[in-house]
């Protein structure tokens, strides 16, 4: 361990000097490979807190995929279905619980996870390392690495892949500081524990909250705790499937996260699963092709004949009506919000993506309207009384 670590530069190449350091004591981390930068460490330390808390709250291995100091995805290590293995390009691979957690986190929004920072709650095993080796990623943080896993990771990016090991027992100071424009801000660290006790205040007529929905609510809240505000998170089956971060309007958060959730749902459509890619196509190119295929502009792409560079057979168009019909068959999703929903329009938008469970702080002067909108659709909504802004 060391007291400080000099960095190449800060957020941008002109921002020098740059370093991370402790005013007293040693840094609770060490670099096992590569040369992580300023933004790498911002992602690493935010993502580590998320997965550590998620593991403590659920008892399951947890992982996150971070980009620009917000999660593109987060998940716990439940087994993958055969369909999930296909859409995450994880077929015919040995999958440990830790590997499943990262594959799910990465699979929430594979386009945004391109060049991500990975965080693992448990020791990185070789199964997880082998999957990471296949993806475009900047680095990983974990409490440890098996020898075999470390050897695999050291072969990535021509030997320059960033590997950070953090002391899992490290506890930061209760008060934290941040400098902005030469002025120091001070606040108490947000150490509010997120657990099932927060979910007892169910304000809707439907009060049936099954265990899997409680787990998904907890996952949504912990994800939001480390997402740049304003933020909204859609969750299904132990993984975030749509995160809307850093929007100024609550409804825009809900729409952005909802559109990402819809994209995740549509990746499981039979027409998407049936796409026949040309031989040797790279994983990112497949992701981009699927994203374009699901976009509103795809018919124009077909007309231009560009599909021949990606697909063996000309794909059948998935129409807007077909997409809407598929999403209408979905159910069981959970939505979390880092602050209250000011209007029922957020609930209306969430309903369109199959949301049945909502967790949010409450406290709007229009809570009665938001609750009434939930009741209209038979949803379950819990008020936590706890805001989760993160800046």
Q: Which residues are catalytic?
A: 67-68, 230, 391
Distance CA 135, CA 282 (A): 10
Q: What CA–CA distances, in Å, run from 5 to 10, 158, 169? A: 12, 23, 20
Sign of CA dihedral 87, 106, 72, 195: positive
- Structure tokens given for 151: 């050897």
- Structure tokens given for 360: 């949010």
- Structure tokens given for 54: 């998620």
Q: What angle do CA 259, 293, 70 make, to 5 degrees?
A: 40
**In degrees rounded to 5, what are phi and psi of residue 375?**
-60, -35
Residue with token string 């991370």? 20
Residue with token string 């020791």? 123
- Structure tokens given for 168: 């899992």
Yes or no: say if 377 and 206 are a contact pair by the CB < 8 Å rule.
Answer: no
CB atoms within 10 A of CB 289: 22
């Amino acid at each position: 361990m060391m007291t400080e670590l000099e960095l190449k530069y800060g957020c941008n190449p002109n921002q020098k000097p740059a370093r991370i350091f402790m005013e007293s004591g040693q840094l609770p981390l060490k670099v096992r490979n590569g040369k992580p930068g300023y933004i790498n460490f911002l992602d690493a330390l935010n993502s580590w807190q998320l997965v550590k808390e998620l593991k403590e709250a659920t008892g399951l291995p947890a992982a996150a995929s971070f980009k620009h100091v917000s999660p593109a995805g987060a998940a716990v290590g439940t087994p993958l279905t055969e369909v999930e293995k296909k859409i995450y390009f994880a077929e015919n691979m040995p999958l440990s619980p830790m590997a499943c957690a990262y594959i799910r986190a990465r699979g929430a929004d594979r386009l945004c996870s391109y060049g991500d920072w990975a965080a693992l709650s448990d020791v990185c095993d070789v199964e997880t390392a082998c999957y990471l080796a296949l993806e475009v990623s900047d680095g990983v943080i974990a409490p440890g690495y098996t020898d075999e896993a470390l050897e695999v990771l050291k072969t990535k990016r021509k030997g320059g892949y960033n590997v950070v090991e953090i002391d899992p027992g490290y506890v930061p100071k209760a008060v934290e500081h941040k400098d902005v424009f030469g002025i120091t801000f001070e606040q108490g660290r947000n150490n509010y524990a997120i657990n099932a006790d927060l979910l007892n205040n169910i304000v809707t007529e439907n009060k049936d909250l099954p265990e899997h929905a409680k787990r998904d609510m907890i996952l949504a809240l912990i994800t939001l705790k480390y997402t740049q505000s304003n933020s909204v998170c859609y969750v299904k089956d132990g993984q975030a499937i749509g995160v809307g971060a850093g929007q100024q309007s609550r409804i825009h958060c809900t729409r952005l996260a909802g559109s990402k959730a819809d994209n995740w749902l549509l990746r499981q459509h039979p027409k998407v699963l049936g796409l026949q890619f040309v031989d040797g196509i790279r994983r990112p190119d497949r992701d981009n092709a699927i994203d374009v295929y699901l976009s509103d502009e795809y018919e124009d792409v077909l007309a231009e004949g560009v599909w021949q560079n990606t697909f063996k057979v000309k794909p059948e168009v998935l129409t807007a009506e077909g997409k809407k019909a598929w999403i209408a068959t979905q159910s069981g999703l959970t939505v979390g919000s880092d602050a209250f929903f000011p209007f029922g329009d957020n609930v209306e938008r969430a309903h369109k993506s199959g949301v049945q469970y909502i967790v949010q702080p409450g406290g709007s002067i229009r809570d009665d309207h938001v609750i009434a909108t939930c009741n209209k659709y038979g949803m379950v909504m819990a008020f936590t009384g706890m805001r989760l802004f993160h800046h």
